[in-house]
Structure 1
Amino acid sequence: MKHSPKGVSIHPDPQALVSTTAARLITKLVDVQSRRGEATVVLTGGTVGIATLEAVTANPARTAVDWTKVNFWWGDERFLPAGNPELNSFQARQAMLDPLGVPAARIHAVASADEVDTVEDAAADYARQLAEAGAAEQLATGFSAVDPRLPRFDVLLLGVGPDAHIASLFPETPGVRTVGSTTVAVRDAPKPPPERISLTLESINTAFEVWLGVAGNDKAGAVGLALAGAGEIQVPAAGARGRTKTRWLIDQAAASQLSQRLFDSDEPDAGDED
Structure 2
Amino acid sequence: MAEFFTEKRVVISPDPAHLAESVAARFLKVLLKKTSAGETVHVALTGGTIGTAVLVAAGANPKRENIDWSLVHFWWGDERFVPADSDDRNDKPARAALLDRIAIPAENIHAMASSDGTLDLDAAAIAYEDELAQFAPADRSETGPWPSFEICFLGVGPDAHIASLFPDRAEIGVTDRAAVAVRDSPKPPPERISLTRPVINSSERVWMVLAGVDKASALGLALAGASYLSVPAAGAKGRSRTILFVDEAAAEKVPQELIDREY
TM bucket (normalised to shorter chain) is over 0.9
| Alpha-carbon offset, residue 179 of structure 1 | 1.5
CA deviations on 1:28-80 (whole Å, 9 max, x unpaired) are 11111133432111100000100100000111111121122210000000001
Q: Show the counterpart of 1:57.
A: 59
RMSD of aligned alpha carbons? 1.8
AA of the residue aligned to 1:176: I
Tell me whether 1:245 sits opposite 2:247 in the alignment: no
**8 Å Cα contact 2:46/2:77 also seen in 1:** yes
| Alpha-carbon offset, residue 259 of structure 1 | 3.5
Task: Determine the C-alpha separation between the residues in 2 that align with 1:224 and 1:29.
Answer: 30
Task: Determine the C-alpha separation between the residues in 1 that align with 2:249 and 2:165.
Answer: 24
Give me the TM-score of the superposition, normalised by structure 1: 0.89
Q: Show the counterpart of 1:185.
A: 181
**8 Å Cα contact 1:42/1:75 also seen in 2:** yes
Give matches, 1:71-220, under 5 Å: 71-134=73-136, 138=138, 143-144=139-140, 146-220=142-216
Q: Show the counterpart of 1:40.
A: 42
Most deviating of 46-55 and 63-72: 63-72
Task: Determine the C-alpha separation between the residues in 2 that align with 1:15 and 1:251.
Answer: 9
AA of the residue aligned to 1:48: I
Task: Determine the C-alpha separation between the residues in 1 that align with 2:118 and 2:192.
Answer: 13
% identity of equivalent residues: 48
CA deviations on 1:94-129 (whole Å, 9 max, x unpaired) are 111011132111000111112234211111111011
CA deviations on 1:176-216 (whole Å, 9 max, x unpaired) are 11121111110011010010000001110010000000000
Instruction: Report the secondary structure of 2:103's partner residue.
Output: coil
Q: Show the counterpart of 2:9.
A: 7
Task: Determine the C-alpha separation between the residues in 2 that align with 1:67 and 1:262.
Answer: 34
Task: Determine the C-alpha separation between the residues in 2 that align with 1:31 and 1:42.
Answer: 18
Task: Determine the C-alpha separation between the residues in 2 that align with 1:48 and 1:169.
Answer: 18
CA deviations on 1:198-238 (whole Å, 9 max, x unpaired) are 00011100100000000000000000110111110110000
Q: For the structure 1 residues 205 and 268, does the alpha-carbon distance in structure 2 shift closer, same or farther, using more than 3 Å as the test?
A: farther
Instruction: Report the secondary structure of 1:77's partner residue.
Output: strand
Task: Determine the C-alpha separation between the residues in 1 that align with 2:112 and 2:141.
Answer: 22
| Alpha-carbon offset, residue 145 of structure 1 | 5.9
Instruction: Report the secondary structure of 1:156's partner residue.
Output: strand
AA of the residue aligned to 1:112: S
Q: Which runs of 5+ in 1 are unaligned?
A: 270-274
Most deviating of 246-255 and 117-126: 117-126
What is the aligned length?
Answer: 257
| Alpha-carbon offset, residue 10 of structure 1 | 0.5
After the TM superposition, which segments of 4 or more aligned residues of structure 1 sit over 4 Å from their partners?
A: 266-269
**8 Å Cα contact 1:43/1:74 also seen in 2:** yes
Give matches, 1:252-267, under 5 Å: 252-260=248-256, 262=258
Instruction: Report the secondary structure of 1:98's partner residue.
Output: helix
**8 Å Cα contact 2:8/2:241 also seen in 1:** no
AA of the residue aligned to 1:95: A
**8 Å Cα contact 2:10/2:258 also seen in 1:** no
**8 Å Cα contact 1:8/1:248 also seen in 2:** yes
Give matches, 1:19-34, under 5 Å: 19-34=21-36
Q: Which runs of 5+ in 2 are unaligned?
A: 1-6
CA deviations on 1:115-172 (whole Å, 9 max, x unpaired) are 23421111111101101222xx53xxxx556324101211100000000000000000
AA of the residue aligned to 1:47: T
Task: Determine the C-alpha separation between the residues in 1 that align with 2:56 and 2:258.
Answer: 31
Instruction: Report the secondary structure of 2:118's partner residue.
Output: coil
